[in-house]
Amino acid sequence: MKRFWLIGLFILVVVGVIAGVILTRVQVYAAPEQPIAYSHQVHVEAGIQCLFCHPSPLKSPLAGIPSVQKCMGCHNVIDTDNPEIQQVASYYESGEPIPWIRVNLQPDFVYFNHQPHLGAGLNCETCHGDVGQMDVTRQTVKMDMGWCLDCHINQSDEKVGRLADCLACHK
Amino acid sequence: MSESEVLAYPEDSSAAEFEDRLLLAERTSSEINQAVLQPMFRTSWKFWALVIFLSLLVLWGLFAWGYLIYWGMGTAGINRPVYWGFFIATFVFWVGISHAGTMISAVLRLLKADWRRPITRGAEAMTAFALMMAGLFPFIHLGRVWKFYWMLPYPNNRLMWPNFQSPLMWDMVAIFTYFIGSTLYLYLALIPDLAMARDHTGKWRQKLYRVLSLGWRGTEAEWHKLHRALSIFSVAIIPIFLSVHSIVSWDFAVTIQPRWHSTIFAPYFVVGAIYSGLAALACILVIVRKGMQLQEFLRSEHFDALGKLVLVAGMAWVYFWFAGFIVEWYGNEPVTRELIHEEVAGSLAPLFYLQMSANLIPIVMLIFKKVRTTPWLLLVATLLVNVGMFTERVLIVVGNLQRNFMPFNWGEYSPTWVEVSIVVMTFAGFALLYTIFSRIFPYVPVWEIKEGRLRYTVRRIGRLLVPTAAEIE
Amino acid sequence: MAEIEPRWVLIVDLDRCTGCQACVVACQAENNVPTVGEHETIEGRWLHWIHIERYWEGEYPNIKARFMPVMCQQCTAAPCEPVCPVFATYHTPEGLNAQIYNRCIGTRFCGSACPYKTRTYNWLRPEFPEPLHEQLNPDVTVRSRGLIEKCTFCVQRIRRIEIEAHAQGREPVDGEIQPACVQTCPPDALVFGDLNDPSSRVSQLATSHRSFKLLGELGTDPGVIYLKGGETNV
Amino acid sequence: MTKRVSRRDFLKLTAGATVVTGLAPSVRRMVLEPYVQPPEEVLPGEATWYASTCRLCPAGCGIIVRVINGRAKKIEGNPHHPLNQGKLCARGQAGLQILYNPDRLKNAVLQSGGRGSLKFEPLYWSEALDILVDKLETLSNPNRVAFLGGLMPSHLYKLTTRFLSSFGSSSPIIYDLHSALEGRNSTVQLSESLFGSPELPIYDLANAEVIFSFGANFLETWMSPVSQSHAFGTMRQGQLGGRGFLVHFEPRLSATAASADEWIPIKPGAEGYVALAIGRIILEERLGQASSHRPYSILYQNVDVQEMADASQIPVEVLHRFARIFADADQAIAIPGGGLAGQHNGGTSMLAVQALNLLSAQIGRVGGVFLSQPGPTAGFRQNPNPGSFENLSILIERMKSGEIDLLLIYGTNPVFELPTSAGFAEAIASVPYVISFSQFVDETAARADLILPDHTYLESWGYEVPAPGAAKPAVSSQQPVVRPLYDTRSTGDVLLAVAERLGGQVANALPWSDEVDFLQELATELHGSSLGAYDAKTPSSFWALWRQYGGWWTEKEIPREPDISTIVQEPIPVSEPVFDGEENSYPYHLHPYPSITLSDGRGANLPWLQGAPDPMTTVCWGTWVELNPETASSLGVSEDDVVRVISPHGELEAPVVIYPGIRPDVVAIPVGQGHEQFGRFAEQRGSNPIALVASITDPETGSLAWGATRVRIEPTGRKKSLARLESLAGEGRESIG
C-alpha cells in the first residue's frame, strides 16, 4: 500500500514536470493576443512585400513596425467597413499608438541587430517562418541561444571567431 | 574468548589498568550495548532547550541569508577591494574542521592505533557535518545564487560549460568528492551498530534502523566485506583529504595577490586544518562526554592521545606558518611588507596577536599531561585553538585583501549583522545536526570497541599477567 | 572582415590629463553605471568604471599632485580570466577582456584576482528613480545586483561603428571608434585605436619614450598604455 | 469569435499551468507602440543626434544629443563647434539628469500654504499667466518690478530686456555665484578699462610657451574650461618640438595647480604684488624684448621689488627667476583669474597681472591675448554680462525698504548663492509677490509665491554667444532635442504671452507669436554671409542648417587684436588686501572654491555629479574642510574629524581633509553643497561656505570679495566619514616601493 503511494507520487511528479515543460513550449510558441486581429496572410496574399511595412531592417537594428499613418495610407479606402479596420482608424484619429504585443522577443541582455543579418543574406523567413501563411502571427522557432549558435558557430574560420564571440550579442 | 574467561586481578593494579584501558571491565556485550544506547534515549528538558535554541539561531541565519539574497551582497560588509569576507573565511574554517574525522578514522585505522576506537564515530560525524556547513558558503557568497547551476557541467544548447581552469571548479569537485567519501565512510562503519540498535529498540527507531542497517546480520562474509571496504576507503580517502584543503588554499594562491601567491599555502592549509580539526574534535568529545555521560567510553587516555596529536599538529602548524612568514618578511617586497606591517603593527594587529596567542598558548598547555587528561583544561586549550584558527582564516582572507598593488584602492572590512548571523547559523547548524545525530545514532562505535576487546586479552603466563594483542583484521 | 583582428588599445597621456572627471561622468552616462550614494561610497562600493587616482609627491610647499585615470587595463594575460568558474569573463579575438553580465554569477573571484582592482561589483539593487531610467543607454545591459562589471572599452560603440562601416563596405578608419571617455576628454589625453594597424595614432604614441604600462612588472601586458607626464615628446 | 475565446482561455490555462508547475519560463508580454505619424528623420532603433548648446555654465559649448525613440540618451560635444571641438566636461555630460530629474516641477504651481510651506497647488498655465498679468497691471509704478537673472539664454535676456524697457522698468539684474567665483564682472571691467571693450579676453593657451596663471582655475570652472583644457592639452604635447610651462599662483593647490609645472602657494591677496614685482624686474633688467618695454615703464614707477617680495612672502630670487622665465619666452601669458577677483584688492591685482601681457607685448600675438571677433554675429551680442555685487546690493536694499512689489527670478538661486550677511532672505520676505521660473524647488523658489517652471535646456529653444568666445566668430544655437516631458513652459513664451495680454507698448515691442518666431528672425540675419561654415539658398533652409549645425560660425579663424592705444599711462596702484575678521580671533583665511562638478551648487541635484569625485580629494556627496597638515596638527584634528568653521557672519560644520597642498593659514571649503531645498539628491547634504562670507566688495569693481573673510576653527570632537574614492591608508602614494 505504501509502495503504491510512493510510486503514485513519483509518477505524478514526473508527469507534472513533463506537462510543465510541454506547456512552457506551448506558451513560447503561442501567438499573443493582439489588440487588433491583424492577419499577415491577408496582406502577403495581397502582394505586399515585408519591407513595405517593416522598412528598416536593412539599415537599422530593428525592422520596425508600421506607423498607424502607414496603415491608414491604404485603409482610408480599402475595407473600411471591417470593424477591425475601424478600430485602426479610431486609433489614428485619437492619435494613440496601437499597443501591439511583440511576437519575437529577445531578453534585455541580447543585442540583436537585423541589419548585419540581412547583410549576410538571410531572408526574413529564416527566422520568422512563413508569416505569409499565418493568420495570427506567432513565433515559429524558440529563439534561444542554442538556436542563435546553430548558425553563428557554423561559419568560416575567419568569421567564426567574431560571430561565436559572446560580445557579438551580449554587451 | 567469552567474558567468563576473563580473570579477576584484585591486587594487581597493572592488570586493572590494562583492563580499564581496553574496556575489558566486567561488562557483558549486552551491557555495553545498553551503555551506548541508553544515552540516546535520554532527552531531558535541557536537551530540548538546546535543540530549540539552536534551531532558532539557524532560522535567524536563514532569514539573514534570505535578506542577503533579496537585497544583494551589499548587506554584508564586503567591499572593494575586500571582495571576500567572513563567508569565505568561515568556509575555509569548516573545511579545515572536516579534516579531523578522516585523520582520526582513516589514518589512525591504517596505523592501527587502537585508542581511536571509541572516538571514530564522533570524528566522522564531525567531518560530514562540517562539510555540510562548509558547502553552504560557496552558495551563500554567490551574488546570484539562483544561477548556481551554471557551475555544474550539464549539457545545454548554449554550448556553455564551466571553466575547469578555475580553482572554484576544483574546489567544487574536491569538496563534493570528499563529502561523498566521508559520508559513505561514516555510514559503512555505522551499519553493524545500526543492526545492533535495530535489535534493541522498538517503534520508529526500529523501523529507521531496519532500513538503514541494510539487513545486516553479522555473518562472517558481511564482516569480511565490511573490513575490506573500510580498509579500501581508509586508503582512498587520504589523497582526497589532502587535496581538499590544498585546493581551498589554491583559491588564494593562484592569484597574484601578495601573501596569497605562495607555494607553501597548500601544506600550510592542510596542517592548519588538521590542527583545528583535531582541536575541534577534542572540544566536542569533552562536551558530548559530559552531555551523554559517556565517561565509560571516552576516557582520559583517549584525551591524552588526542591531546598529543593536537600538540604535534600545532607544532607542525607553527613550523609551516613560520616557514611562510620568514620568507615573506625577509623578501621585503613592498605590498607584502605593507601587509605584514598591517598585521604586526597596523589595524589588524589585535586580530594577529589574538591569532598567535590563541594558537601558541594551547601548544604550551598541551605539553603537560595534566592538561591533556583534565577535560576542562583540554576544552579551554582546544577552544583556544579554534578561536585562533578561525582568526587565522579571517586574517588570511580578509587581511590580505585589504592591501594591494594600488594604494589608492586599499580598503578596510568589518562584518555586518548579516554575515555574523549566517556564520553563527553554521555553528548552530553544526551543533544542531551533531546533537540530533547523537540521539539517533550510536555515538560510540560498539562493534569497534568489542573488536578491540577481542584483540586484547590479559593472559597468565606462569605467575605473570601479560597483556597480549592479536591481529584480527 | 579584417584580415588581422584589431588589437584595441587605449593611450592615456598623463601629461595632458587635468583630472577633470569628464571621462568619469561620460562613462557613467554611456554605460548605465549606477550611482551608489554617499553611504555605499564610504563603504568602498563605488562603481565608476574609470576613476582618476590622485597621487601626492613631496611635502608642502614643494608638493606636487599628479592624476592618473585608471580603468580596466584589458590585460592580454589577464589574471581575472582563468579564475571565473563560468566563463563570464574571457578574452575576445580582438584582445578585449570581456565581461558577460548575464553569465556572471557573482563569485567575485575575478575582483580578488585583479591586481588593479578595477572590477566593480553591484552590491545592491541599482536604483534609477523615475524618470531617471529614461537616461539608460539601450545599447548596454542594465546590470542587476550581484554581478561584476567593468570597463569594456565601450564595446557597444566599437560594434556600432564596425557594423556601420561594414554596411558601407569599408573598414572603420583610425579615430572613428571612440569610447565615451575618449570622445569627451577635453584635453585629448585619451586616444583609442588599433595597435595592429602600424599607421594608427595609438601605434605611433605607443612607441613614445614616455610610454609605460601600469604594474608592468606583473606581466599582465595591459591594453592600456600610459604616457608619462612632465616630459616633452622629443 | 468562439475560436478567439477558446484560444484566449487556452493561453490562460497554459499560463496558469506553467506557474503551478513552477516552470514559468521567460514568457513575458512586451508592448510595441508604433508612431502614429512618424517624424521623417527617425529610423526605428537608430539614434538621431540633435545639435544644441550646453547650458550648465555660461561658456556655451556646443553639444549633440543622442536621441532614441524620442528619449535623450547621451550628450556629447559637438565636434564641429569652434569652442569645444567635440569635447565636453563632467557637468555638460550630466545635463541629461536635469531633463530626467525626478524632482522637477511638472507644472506651474502656486505655493498655497504660504512661502516656505512647500505646499504647492498645481495651476493651469492660463491661470498662472492671469496672476502674472494681474500683478504687472496692478503695479503702482513700473519700477516696482525687478527681474533678477542668473544664467540666462541670450535670447531670453534680449526678450526680457525688451519687455522690461517697454514696460518702463529697469533692465534685469544679472548675478550668479558661478560668475562671481569666476570673476566675470571684474574681468569685463578690466577689459573695458584696458582695451575699451567690455568683454572677456581669450588667452591663446595652445600656442603659449609659458603661462603664469594667477588664481585662474582655467582647467576646472573658470570661463570656458573645455576649450581651455583642450588648448592646455595642445600646449602640453601638441606643440612642435616643445612643451609649454605652466606656473600657477594660488593659496590652494587646485586641480589646475596640480596640472601646472610649478605651484606657488601665494598669500591671499598678494598676487598683484608678485605680478608687479615681476614686471618691475623685467623692466629693470631689460629682460626679453626690451624694445617693447618703454611705453609701460611708467606703470611700474612706484614698485619696489623688495617691498613686494616682503608683502608676498616670496623671496626676491624666486621673483627674479620668474621674471626671467616669463620674459625669455617667446609666447608668455599672464592670466588674472577668479581667485584675484574675490579679493578686496581684486581690481588692482588683475590689472597688475594683465599689465604683464602688455609689457611682454603679448596682446594680439599668437600665444597671447585676444578678444573674440563678432564678425557678422554682432547683432546677437547682447550677452548678459553679470552685474556686480554692488548692483545687487542696491536691489536688496530696495527690496528691504519696500520699493519692490514684484520680483521675478530666473536662473539664479540668490538665497543659496549670496552670503547670509547680504540679507537676501530677509529682503525677499519683504517683497509682496515673488515669481520664480525655476524648474526645481530650490531655496529661492521655496520663498516664491508662484513658480512658472521653464523647460529644461534640452527641451527649449535659444542661442548663446560663447563668452569668452572662440577663435572663430560663433553663435551657438539651442533647440529642443525631446518633446517637453511635463507641462512646463518656456519663459520666453511666457513673456511673449504676457506682452500680448498687456497690449499696447509692450505688445508692440514684442510682436512675435512665440520665441521660435523671434529666434528664426534673428538667425536668418546671418543668412547670406559669405564667411559662414555653411550657407543655404533660402532663409528656411538656413534655419534648418542653423539647427542642424548647432549654430553658426565662420569657416576660418578671424582673430581680433585688443585695442591698446588708449591705455592710461599712470602707475599701477599698489593696494593692500583687506580682510573681514580680526586676525587674532579669526586666524585663517577662508578660501571657498567652486566645485569642478557641482560648480556653484547648481549641479548638486544631479546624482552623476554628486557621485563624481572631486579630483584633488576624491570626495563626493559632501562638504569638507581642507587643512594643511601643520594646521591640523596644531588644532589636534585628523582626517574625518568634524570641525566648526566660524566667521564673523556664520558658522558651519564639516569633516576635515588633511590637504598637503594648501597654505597653513588658509582653509579651503568647496562650494556647491549645503542645499536646504533642491531635490532629494542635494537636500540636507554638506554645508555652504558662501554663507560665512562677509559682504565686502572690491572698491574698484564692486565685485563681492568672497575670498576676503577670516575664520577660526574649533574641533567638535566628532567624526564623520567622508565618501572618498581614495583609501586613506594609501596616503596618496602611487605605489609603495
- Per-residue pLDDT tens digits for D716-730: 999 999 999 999 998
The whole-angstrom separation of Cα D482 and Cα D48 is 11
* pLDDT bucket at D732, cuts 50 / 70 / 90: confident
Chain D contact for C163 (CB, 8 A cutoff): no
Q: What is the pLDDT of residue D453?
A: 96
Q: What is the pLDDT of residue B180?
A: 92
Chain A contact for B463 (CB, 8 A cutoff): no
Chain A contact for C128 (CB, 8 A cutoff): no
* pLDDT bucket at D383, cuts 50 / 70 / 90: low
Does D177 or A2 have the greater pLDDT score? D177
Chain A residue with the nearest C-alpha to that of D47: A60
The whole-angstrom separation of Cα B364 and Cα B352 is 18
Q: Given a contact as 3+ CB pairs under 8 Å, which chains touch A?
A: B, C, D
Tell me how many helices (H) and strands (E) chain B has.
Answer: 18, 2
- Per the CB < 8 A criterion, the answer to whether D342 and D183 are in contact is yes
Q: What is the pLDDT of residue B10?
A: 42
Can you tell me the mean pLDDT for D430-451? Answer: 94
Q: Respond yes or no on whether ipTM tops 0.85.
A: yes
Q: What is the pLDDT of residue B300?
A: 83
Average pLDDT score, chain D: 90
The whole-angstrom separation of Cα A114 and Cα D46 is 12
Residue A164 has pLDDT above 80, yes or no: yes
Residues of A with a Cβ under 8 Å from any D Cβ are: 16-17, 19-21, 23-24, 26-28, 30-33, 37, 56, 59-70, 91-92, 95-102, 105, 107
- E-assigned strand segments in chain C: 8-13, 51-59, 62-70, 89-91, 97-99, 120-121, 148-149, 190-194, 211-212, 224-227
- Mean pLDDT is lowest, of B192-201, C97-106, D542-551, for B192-201
Q: What residues of chain D, 718 to 737, have a C-beta less than 8 Å from chain B?
A: 725-727, 729-737
Residue D3 has pLDDT above 50, yes or no: no
Residue D297 has pLDDT above 50, yes or no: yes
Reported residue count of chain C is 234
From chain A, the residues in CB contact with D3 under 8 A are none
Q: Do C18 and D259 touch (CB under 8 A)?
A: yes
Q: What is the pLDDT of residue A108?
A: 85
The whole-angstrom separation of Cα B442 and Cα D435 is 86
- Distance, in angstroms, between B150 CA and closest chain A CA? 15
Can you tell me the mean pLDDT for D50-59? Answer: 93
Q: What is the pLDDT of residue A63?
A: 87
Domain-by-domain residue ranges, chain C? 8-227
Q: Do D88 and C186 touch (CB under 8 A)?
A: yes
**Backbone region of residue B196 per phi and psi (left: phi > 0; alpha: psi in -120 to 50; beta: other values):** alpha
Residue D166 has pLDDT above 70, yes or no: yes
Q: Do D726 and B408 touch (CB under 8 A)?
A: yes
Superfamily of domain B21-469: Formate dehydrogenase/DMSO reductase domain (1.20.1630.10)
- The domains of chain D, with CATH numbers, are 48-98 (2.20.25.90), 110-178+383-469+486-512 (3.40.50.740), 195-370 (3.40.228.10), 588-728 (2.40.40.20)
- Per the CB < 8 A criterion, the answer to whether C141 and A171 are in contact is yes
The whole-angstrom separation of Cα B83 and Cα B404 is 12
Task: Kindly state the cell numbers that stand for B303.
Answer: 584525551
Does A52 or D12 have the greater pLDDT score? A52
The DSSP line for D282-351 is HHHTT-SSGGGTGGGGGGGTT--HHHHHHHHT--HHHHHHHHHHHHH-SSEEEEE-HHHHTSTTHHHHHH
Across the interface, which of D236, D485, D608 has its CB nearest the CB of C28? Answer: D608
Does D454 or B11 have the greater pLDDT score? D454
**Tens of pLDDT along D180-202?**
999 999 999 999 888 888 889 99
Q: Torsions phi, psi of D99, nearest 5?
A: -60, -50
Residue D4 has pLDDT above 80, yes or no: no
Mutate to test the interface with D, among B339, B404, B406 (most CBs of D within 10 A): B406
- Per the CB < 8 A criterion, the answer to whether B234 and B106 are in contact is yes
Q: Do C25 and D93 touch (CB under 8 A)?
A: yes
Across the interface, which of D11, D28, D31 has its CB nearest the CB of A99? Answer: D31
Q: Do C106 and B143 touch (CB under 8 A)?
A: yes
Task: Kindly state the cell numbers that stand for D141.
Answer: 509704478
Chain D contact for C231 (CB, 8 A cutoff): yes
Provide the β-strand partners of residue C212.
C226
Provide the β-strand partners of residue D626.
D657, D668
**Tens of pLDDT along D321-357?**
999 999 999 899 999 999 999 999 999 999 999 999 9
**Tens of pLDDT along D90-104?**
999 999 999 999 999
Q: What residues of chain D, 456 to 515, have a C-beta less than 8 Å from chain C?
A: 485
From chain C, the residues in CB contact with B163 under 8 A are 82, 84-87
Does C145 or D242 have the greater pLDDT score? C145
Mutate to test the interface with A, among B147, B150, B157 (most CBs of A within 10 A): B157
Across the interface, which of C105, C123, C218 has its CB nearest the CB of B256? Answer: C218
Task: Kindly state the cell numbers that stand for D201.
Answer: 579676453
Across the interface, which of D17, D30, D45 has its CB nearest the CB of A56? Answer: D45
CA angle (D230 as vertex; D229, D233 as ends), nearest 5: 85
From chain B, the residues in CB contact with D639 under 8 A are none
Tell me which amino acid residue D139 is: L
Q: Nearest Cα to C147, choosing from A106, B410, B71, B72? A: B72
- Mean pLDDT is lowest, of A138-142, D223-227, D313-317, for A138-142
Q: Do B143 and C215 touch (CB under 8 A)?
A: no
Across the interface, which of A69, A100, A102 has its CB nearest the CB of D36? Answer: A69
**Tens of pLDDT along C200-227?**
999 999 999 999 999 999 999 999 999 9
* pLDDT bucket at D262, cuts 50 / 70 / 90: very high
Interior/surface letters D220-230, b for 16+ CB within 10 angstroms, e for the rest = bbbbbbbbbbb
Chain D contact for C46 (CB, 8 A cutoff): yes
Q: What is the pLDDT of residue C2?
A: 46
Chain B contact for C67 (CB, 8 A cutoff): no
The whole-angstrom separation of Cα B130 and Cα B133 is 5
pLDDT tens for chain B, 473 residues long, are: 333 333 344 445 455 555 555 555 556 777 888 888 888 887 888 899 999 999 999 999 999 999 999 999 999 999 999 999 999 999 999 999 998 887 788 888 888 887 888 888 999 999 999 999 999 999 999 999 999 999 999 898 888 899 999 999 999 999 999 999 999 989 999 999 999 888 888 788 888 999 998 989 889 999 999 989 988 888 888 898 899 999 999 999 999 999 999 999 999 999 999 999 999 999 999 999 888 888 878 888 889 999 999 999 999 999 999 999 999 999 999 999 999 999 999 999 999 999 999 999 999 999 999 999 899 999 999 999 999 999 999 999 999 999 999 999 999 999 999 999 999 999 999 999 999 999 899 988 888 888 877 777 667 777 777 666 665 54
Per-residue CA distances from B277 to A146, B284, B292, B309 (Å): 47, 10, 21, 11
**Tens of pLDDT along D18-45?**
455 444 444 567 888 888 888 777 788 8
- Per the CB < 8 A criterion, the answer to whether D323 and D286 are in contact is no
Q: Which three-class secondary structure state does DSSP give residue D54?
A: coil
Q: Which CATH architecture has domain C8-227?
A: 2-Layer Sandwich (3.30)
Residue D14 has pLDDT above 80, yes or no: no
